[in-house]
């Protein structure tokens, strides 16, 4: 069975790691959000691609969930001393990836080609596909009237100012490889990622939702017992939807193409609900990630 995984940042990478351990790599393609990408210090940064790649390669910083383990900060400290902007942390090992990505993009390679090359260098066998090869930026419109790119809001502003709505600026064309992967897929798994920040930038690309409608799609809730494991999702649900943070609030954003929502056992009602399955979805370690991956594959008959 050919599977496509849709994932974003730290939460998305955890389930992807479980799926990679349970599926032959040739049967798994992960489409990764690039709405968080931006240029910083003249370097092209693709945080969700790197978080997925480092997690699969086993070199992710296990505490932060992004960036490299065993990192050093020599260039960052020197840049800071020279007066460079220091609100976005770039470690030395991580920076090598941004330097090489930027160098290859400047010589005409596409982000898809560069990602394939970097994954090979890191020994990652699962195919990671950026959602598009052209810029498409997640843009935050705040309740106080300001608007800004996603990283400015998340990192510079600490993800604190309430969000009124989210816009995706730039291309609406997915890469041809993304459409081909969906055309070849037998089923799709949507990771436990922030819907506005990670999933909707991908599913609102031209031609994606219509393909999802034709396929069995399972999504794992990023909300467990009213909280998000990481990031500002609870406050975004409150400010954008004026709702409590529940799995159904998230799944309502996937109406039209979602078939099955997987919720945590803590959120399971006494009787079964159609279109909902309960499982342990907290993913602290590889064993939990593999366990959930296996369960999803069983549900799909893979
Ligand atoms: N997140 C932060 O909160 N602060 C940072 O300084 C930061 C640096 C950073 C560098 C490289 C990278 O790949 C990710 C980084 N992140 C940082 C995480 C990232 O901004 C977000 O987690 C994702 O974009 C959300 O999906």
pLDDT digits (tens, 9 = 90+) for 67-122: 999 999 999 999 999 999 999 999 999 999 999 999 999 999 999 999 999 999 99
CB of 36 sitting under 6 A from ligand 1: yes
Mean pLDDT of 181-205: 98
Q: What is the pLDDT of residue 302?
A: 85
Residue nearest atom 14 in ligand 1 by C-alpha distance: 47
Q: Exposure string (b/e) for 273-297, b if CB count within 10 Å is 16 or more?
A: eeebbbbebebeeeebbbbbbbbbb
Q: How far, in Å, CA of 135 to CA of 275, rounded? A: 35
Q: Which atom of ligand 1 is nearest to the CA of 197?
A: 26
Mutate which of 13, 154, 230 for ligand 1? The one with the most ligand atoms within 8 Å of its CB, which is 154
Whose C-alpha lies nearest to ligand 1, atom 8? Answer: 89
The per-residue pLDDT for range 230-289, each reduced to its tens digit, is 889 999 999 999 999 999 999 999 999 999 999 999 999 888 888 999 999 999 999 999
The full set of domains in the chain, from first to last, is 3-300 (3.40.50.10680)
Report which of 243, 217, 223 is spatially closest to residue 296, judged by C-alpha positions. Answer: 217
Q: Would you state the structure tokens that stand for residue 22, as one six-digit string?
A: 């349970």
How far apart are the C-alpha atoms of 138 and 3, rounded to whole Å?
26
């Amino acid at each position: 069975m050919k599977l496509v995984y849709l994932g974003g940042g730290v939460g998305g990478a955890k389930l992807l790691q479980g799926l990679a351990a349970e599926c032959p790599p040739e049967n798994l393609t992960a489409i990764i959000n690039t709405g968080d990408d931006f240029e910083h210090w003249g370097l092209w940064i693709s945080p969700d691609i790197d978080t997925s790649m480092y997690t699969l390669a086993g070199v992710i910083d296990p505490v932060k969930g992004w960036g490299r383990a065993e990192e050093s900060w020599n260039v960052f400290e020197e840049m800071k001393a020279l007066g460079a902007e220091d609100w976005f942390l770039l470690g030395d090992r991580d920076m090598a990836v941004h330097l090489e990505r930027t160098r290859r993009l400047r010589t005409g390679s596409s982000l898809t080609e560069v990602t394939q090359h970097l994954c090979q260098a890191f020994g990652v066998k699962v195919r990671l596909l950026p959602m598009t090869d052209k810029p498409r930026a997640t843009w935050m419109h705040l309740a106080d009237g300001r608007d800004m790119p996603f990283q400015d809001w998340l990192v510079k502003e600490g993800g604190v100012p309430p969000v009124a709505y989210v816009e995706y600026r730039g291309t609406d064309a997915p890469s041809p490889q993304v459409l081909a992967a969906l055309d070849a897929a037998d089923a799709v798994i949507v990771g436990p990622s922030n819907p506005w920040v990670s999933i909707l930038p991908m599913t609102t690309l031209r031609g994606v939702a219509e393909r999802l409608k034709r396929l069995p799609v399972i999504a794992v809730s990023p909300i467990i017992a009213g909280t998000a494991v990481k990031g500002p999702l609870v406050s975004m649900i409150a400010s954008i939807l004026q709702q409590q943070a529940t799995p159904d609030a998230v799944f309502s954003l996937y109406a039209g193409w979602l078939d099955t929502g997987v919720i945590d056992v803590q959120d399971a009602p006494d009787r079964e609900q159609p279109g909902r399955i309960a499982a342990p979805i907290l993913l602290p370690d590889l064993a939990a990630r593999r366990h959930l991956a296996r369960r999803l594959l069983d549900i799909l008959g893979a």
